[in-house]
Each structure stands twice: as structure tokens, then as C-alpha cells.
Amino acid sequence: MERKDFEGAGVQTRATHAGKELNTTHAVSSPIWLTTAFRADSGEHFAEIASAARPAEFYTRYGNPTHREAEAALCALEGGEAALLTASGMGAVFAAVMSSVAAGDHVVAQRNLYAGTETLMKELPRFGVEVTYVDQTRAEAFAAAVRPATKLVFVETPTNPLMTLTDLRAVAELGRARGVTTVVDNTFATPVNQRPLELGLDVVVHSATKYLGGHHDITAGCLVGSQAFVERAWRFSLVAGATMSPFDAWLLLRGLRTLGLRVERHNRNALALARFLEAHPRVERVHYPGLESHPQHELARRQMQGFTGMLSFELGGSYEEAARVVASLKLATYAASLGGYETLVVHPAAMWGLQLSAEQKNEMGVSAGLLRVSAGLEDEPDLIADFAQALEA
């Protein structure tokens, strides 16, 4: 089935079938092309594939048939013309940013970004690129920050860990009107819950380590956009060496095949847990865009089809009390990542305790009692019971 065959198809249909036409074998489950190089038929053939853009069979740093199948699935899910796999989510962010700017250019970025992305933004001035940070909750702030030298607007929604949203339609309209490339990190939402390219954004990036892989067993990244942009990003990624291994690409493809089913369960568990926590007397506040109490709930309803498996909540007590709650959980695992099959929880004040000052944590809204949860695939009553007993412990 070609890309046009998926127009109007549901997300799980696309996840199940997209890219299968690239499997030239009779195997139902696609093989893993574990090879560094591919044989040429002649000198002319070698010259042809060596000079081609993104050849699937030349040298795996340039591309690989396993990569191609996973990239085709990503294109169908996000609605893009082309996709590029990278060795990590930051590989995708780095390729997207550095393919968009040069010395003398200007970037507009929202203040609340993934820590790795924020570090990259802080490094850009070393390369002659200036960055302006804006409040992502104010769409007009992006427009006010754009200059003649602005080449890129970089956003992320929902954000970590307070689940703040960015108005994607407003950012897309600004980009089109000013001729500025717009890039969004769609990791927390996934293409099941949010399809930024359909809202007018230019490029989507993911840490595919998270929901797209979904099994806590790969480190991976990807970007999706136009054919021209992805080819430019590929040329940068080629020299940056951010190549995903064929085995990890196969694991990613395996994860993508069940993405719609998994994210539906993540969403349901997160909403149920958020509602339970919001009603609990020991919980001071819950951050989840699916709750009517979320200050941007109406924006979430406009630009999202589901509200993600991520949430955070604040206890009214101390750092020690939050740590005791985490230690008392039996099903939820205390670990840094997110988006996999089991529920993970982190205590941001502890995770960033040595990296951020008290003033920085306060600016980010990271209170001593804040806990972030990646709701897994457990049965809803069991998950809620686990948090109930931990809160009472």
C-alpha cells in the first residue's frame, strides 16, 4: 500500500500496514537488514548509489531497508512527505535545528523545553545564532519575538513536567506569514493524539525512545516533514553520525505497529489517574490537559485527539513526603524515561536537584512536592489502587 492508500484510514490501520510494501520478502514480520554495506552490481551502479540522496542499499550510515520501512510508517502516522531516523531524540532535534540555521540567524523558542533541547539552544550563540525565549502560553509572544533574521521557531507541547500547551495553529500561521521554519517536539502527544503537520507546522521531531518505541528497550529519534527538509536534515545527520542501528530501527517498527492501541490505553489510564488524584485530599494540584481544571483544557480539545499518558501532581507537603510516596509505590517504577508499557514516576526536584538552583526550579514551577507520572498499560483499578495506598502510606 502506498501513502495515498492511507488517506482517511484510522491511526491503527496506518500503524499496522504503512511501509509494508517496502518489505520485498515473503516474511510477514519484516526482516532486520543487519549489514554495514551493500554490494554493487557494477562500477556504474556503485557510482549511482554512492551519489544518490538517501540510498536504501549502499552503506547503512546513508540508509538501510529497515530504516526505510520504519520511516514510511512514521510518514503515514504524522502525515509527512518524508521521515528520517536518528540514533536518539536529541539526534533528531539537533538535525532539525542545525539544518534550519546558520551564523547570523535568529531562533525563537519557548521557555519550557526538554532539558537536552534547552542545552542545545544555550549552545547556539557559540555558532553565531541568537535565541529569544518566550512564554509558550501567549501566542502573541512568538509574533513579537520574530525578527528579519529569524529562521526558526521551535516549540514543544505538552511540556515537561507541568503539561503546558502551545497553540500550534497560531505558531503555524506565524511561520507561514513570516517565512520562518516551524519545528515541534511531539514526543509527549504522539501522532495518535496530535498531528502538527496537519495544523500547518513544517517539521515534527520525536524522541522515539518513548511512546513510538513503547517498550523501554531502544534509544531512537526521528523527524518528519517535507521531502526537501528531510533530505537537508539527512545530509547534516550523515556527517553528524547520528545513525540508528538497523536492529533498533526494527524494534521501533515493531513498536509502531501497536502504537494506536497502546496510546489509547495510556490516555485512558492517565485520565483516570488524574481524576483520582484531583479528588484526593493529600493532592494539592494535578497537571493534565484532559482535566477541565487545566487552564488550557479548551486549547487541548481543539488541537489534540487525546490527552497523552503523561501527568504530574503536587503534594502539599515537603520534599521528604513526596519521596516517601514514590518509595511506597509498588507497580510504578522510579525511573527517568516515559512512554513505555509500565508506569514510571520521577521526583523532578530530586532529578534536577544538582543541576538547577532553587530559583531556576521555582521559575520552572518544579516544587518540592511535584511528581511526574508516565501512565503505563496496567489495568486501571490496579494502577489507581497503587497510588491510593502510596498516598496513605
**Residue 361 among the catalytic residues:** no
**Residue 5 among the catalytic residues:** no
Residue 119 dihedral angles phi and psi, to the nearest 5°:
-60, -45
User: In this structure, what C-alpha cell is assigned to residue 217?
Assistant: 528497550
Asked if 30 and 23 count as a contact pair (C-beta separation under 8 A), the reply is yes
Marked catalytic residue, from 62, 114, 211, 288:
114
Marked catalytic residue, from 54, 68, 195, 210:
210
Marked catalytic residue, from 61, 138, 178, 285:
61
Between CA 11 and CA 24 the distance in angstroms is 24
**Residue 210 among the catalytic residues:** yes
Pairing, β 310-315 against β 333-334: unpaired
Question: How large is the angle between the packed helices 380-392 and 259-279, nearest 10 degrees?
Answer: 30
Marked catalytic residue, from 185, 202, 248, 386:
185
Asked if 91 and 237 count as a contact pair (C-beta separation under 8 A), the reply is yes
Active-site amino acid positions: 61, 114, 185, 210
